[in-house]
Amino acid sequence: MNWTPTILRIRDISIKMHITFLLLLAFEAWIWSTHGVTGIAFGIGLTVLLFTCVILHELGHALVARALGIPVREILLLPIGGIAYLTKTPKTPRDELLIAIAGPLVNVVIALCLLPFVGTSSSIVDFPGPESAPTVNLLLTGLYSANIMLVLFNLLPAFPLDGGRILRAALAMVISERNATTYATVIGQGVAVVIGTISVMSGQIFLAITALFIFFSAGSERGETRARSLLVTRRVGDAYNHMALSLSPADRTSRVVDLILTSYQPDFAVMQGNTILGIVTRAHVLEALATEPVDQYVAAIMNRDFVRVPHTMTLDEVRMTIAAASDEVAAVFNGKEYLGLVSLVDIDEALAVIDYVDRNKSLTA
């Protein structure tokens, strides 16, 4: 089952919605059902319009990222908000600052556009509840308040919120990115603890779940930054499998199964002389056996449109390139000469070794 179907495509950016978002729509319809069919329509409509603002917020990030040469693969809508997935890490703190601040600025613009319809007397936290009768004015007031709250909430200094990225970018202008991330994530986790404590004491379960998400995301960001800082120190030309077994187009899936079992190698280049024709992975073989359990030629199941990377790329760049292609393995080249394969698993193993060596250096320094 596809848990994140694409609901919209803007240029080459896929807008995806996690299936649990439907639970939020159902919940809003239920709490507004006291006003009958009109209330149900109001609850669903308000939620859809609110998340349209979230999409515009994420598109703000995406457009600035693209202007800076960073493609955006997709935007994912979750019940707690949206996430824009960049295919590359911003090159400089300034780039990260510009990308991070673009989202809240979009919500500021939306709020300013709604202001003439709601009046200056409206409270910024005047979000409608089912105790109010559904009206157009209530809808506009709710959207205005929601956009103001989105700005204020997103500017909290906590990952993965924009405020956390702004804080990290500001710190990285004067200290290393790794140290900036450490400080920013520790501050972010502290903010998450405060939010979580207040939300639990006040019975705000949804906010408590959001605080948990922020807390663990901050820790994940710290680990990801450490991984990047280590992987940029090694070239893929030094890390691919020099002793990998390969296949010919005339080999069959039974031979691949034997090699997987005896060599523990999961990925194989299909070669014709010194030319790579495609790549066969363990997943390709299992899928082929599940759909058509016959001993096929590997030429029929191999991936011909595989990722190609130069041997001079860093392991971090290769990891990002493979992930952007939604793949698991890439072919390494020195010019036109094929050298070998490298997978995300290989990079993870290399990271473990590099991290071990780095930590031991720190202990013995």
Is 26 in the same domain as 145? yes
Confidence of residue 52 (pLDDT cuts 50, 70, 90): very high
Is 149 in the same domain as 287? no
- Report if residue 126 sits inside a domain: yes
User: Which of 155, 186, 209 is at the close of a domain?
Assistant: 155
Identify the residue with better confidence: 224 or 170. Answer: 170
- Report if residue 19 sits inside a domain: yes
Is 134 in the same domain as 240? no
- Report if residue 166 sits inside a domain: no
DSSP H helical segments within the chain, as ranges?
21-31, 36-67, 93-118, 136-154, 162-172, 177-201, 205-231, 253-263, 282-291, 298-301, 315-324, 344-364
Which residue segment(s) compose the domain that 292 sits in? Answer: 236-355
- Report if residue 210 sits inside a domain: no
Give the pLDDT score at 125: 58
**Phi, psi at 311, each rounded to 5°:** -70, -15
CA distance 35 to 155: 35
- Report if residue 24 sits inside a domain: yes
Mean confidence (pLDDT) of the chain? 87
Confidence of residue 284 (pLDDT cuts 50, 70, 90): confident
Is 54 in the same domain as 145? yes
Please report, for the domain that includes residue 350, its CATH number.
3.10.580.10
Residue 114 has pLDDT above 60, yes or no: yes
User: Which of 155, 186, 208 is at the close of a domain?
Assistant: 155
- Report if residue 188 sits inside a domain: no
- Report if residue 59 sits inside a domain: yes
Is 131 in the same domain as 247? no
Model confidence over 2-39: pLDDT tens digits? 788 888 888 778 888 888 888 888 888 898 888 889 98
Q: Mean pLDDT throughout 281-300?
A: 86
Give the pLDDT score at 102: 95
Give the pLDDT score at 161: 87
Residue 126 has pLDDT above 70, yes or no: no
In Å, how far from its chain's centre is CA 128? 31
CA distance 199 to 191: 12
Residue 123 has pLDDT above 60, yes or no: no
In percent, how much of the chain has pLDDT > 70? 96
- Report if residue 177 sits inside a domain: no
Is 144 in the same domain as 255? no
Is 148 in the same domain as 247? no
User: Which of 137, 155, 173 is at the close of a domain?
Assistant: 155
Is 139 in the same domain as 244? no
CA distance 145 to 134: 16
The structural domain count of the chain equals: 2
Q: Mean pLDDT throughout 203-225?
A: 83
Is 151 in the same domain as 241? no
In percent, how much of the chain has pLDDT > 90? 35
Is 10 in the same domain as 129? yes
Give 78's DSSP letter: E
Is 137 in the same domain as 254? no
Q: Mean pLDDT throughout 224-249?
A: 86
